Amino acid sequence: MFSYGPFYRRRYKAVAEFMGWRDYIAESNEVLSREPERISAVFMSVQNGGRLAIGGLFNAVYNPGWHWGLERGGSLLRVTRAEGSRLFVRDEFCGPAPPLSWTTCFLPYTWPFLMIPMLPPGLSINIRTTRLEGWIDIATGEVDFVFNSAFSASLAGGLIKWEPPPLAVDAKMGTAEQTGSVFHAAGERLNGADATLVALSVVPRTDNKWQNLLMGLPTDALSVLKVRMEFLGTRPKHD
């Protein structure tokens, strides 16, 4: 499930070549990948068109770029260790991501021809990253992260007092194929500046029996995110 071929990427590449467009970030990444010791950080941004699902209850196309608020749409991953072509990176300033709302989540069955919101206006599911770190192999394009996050719901921006217990989710995120009790998905390795990352985890039961019943907990939570990665380098050393 959700293992889509890179059809749109191939189509975009063909159009870009025909039009003479250039991907300057991909070109810069290619140059820096020849000198991994110069890479000091990686800026990773989540693109529109990802997929989010929780069990059989929630299944949506996620467009974080359509959020109007101040929450960031990317992470600055500092390189803390390098082993050959493998870089260990960490987000030192974890924080909120664009929430799931009627402006960012849409029914996948009619997307993109008919954009029907998945959630009603006023209801939002807030996402806060609590841990994001792991390895990026700039030679093979493999990505292997630990991704921990917390989800909480709110009505009318918190004006209506309805706050179910937040859900803490610990996941492995990367380009490798993953299989759970409900979902199966595979990512795509970093190619130039583009990659598809899959995060699959088990959402545990909570102390709220109604929340467990409504969401069918415990169950799988799946994220299939299209990301752009930009290598940030230091100046070359001159003798």
Domain that holds residue 211: 8-232
Give a yes or no: residue 49 inside a domain: yes
Our count of domains for the chain comes to 1
Per-position pLDDT tens, the chain of length 239? 343 444 455 555 566 555 667 788 999 999 999 999 999 999 999 999 999 888 777 789 998 887 766 556 678 999 999 999 999 999 998 888 888 889 999 998 888 888 899 888 888 888 889 999 999 999 999 999 999 998 887 776 555 555 666 778 889 999 999 988 788 899 999 999 999 999 988 877 777 776 667 666 777 888 999 999 999 987 555 54
pLDDT value, residue 9: 53
201, β-bridge pairs: 221
Tokens of 31: 């140059």
Give a yes or no: residue 206 inside a domain: yes
DSSP 64: G
226, β-bridge pairs: 196
Of 193, 190, 178, 202, nearest in space to 2 by CA: 178
What single letter denotes the amino acid at residue 53? A
pLDDT value, residue 2: 41
Contact 89, 133 (CB under 8 A): yes
pLDDT value, residue 64: 87
Give a yes or no: residue 237 inside a domain: no
Which residues contact residue 126 at a Cβ distance below 8 angstroms, ignoring those fewer than 6 apart?
Answer: 96, 99, 151, 152, 153, 154
Q: What are phi and psi of 209, to 5 degrees?
A: -65, -30
In angstroms, the CA 26 to CA 120 distance is 38
Of 182, 187, 186, nearest in space to 216 by CA: 182
Tokens of 220: 């799988």
Give a yes or no: residue 53 inside a domain: yes
CA distances from 195 to 6, 26, 110, 138, 141 (A): 10, 11, 24, 12, 8
Which residues contact residue 64 at a Cβ distance below 8 angstroms, ignoring those fewer than 6 apart?
Answer: 46, 48, 50, 73, 97, 98, 104
Give a yes or no: residue 238 inside a domain: no
Give a yes or no: residue 180 inside a domain: yes
Q: State the pTM of this model.
A: 0.83
In angstroms, the CA 33 to CA 85 distance is 8
Give a yes or no: residue 25 inside a domain: yes
Give a yes or no: residue 152 inside a domain: yes
DSSP 66: G
How many CB atoms lie under 10 A from the CB of residue 105? 23
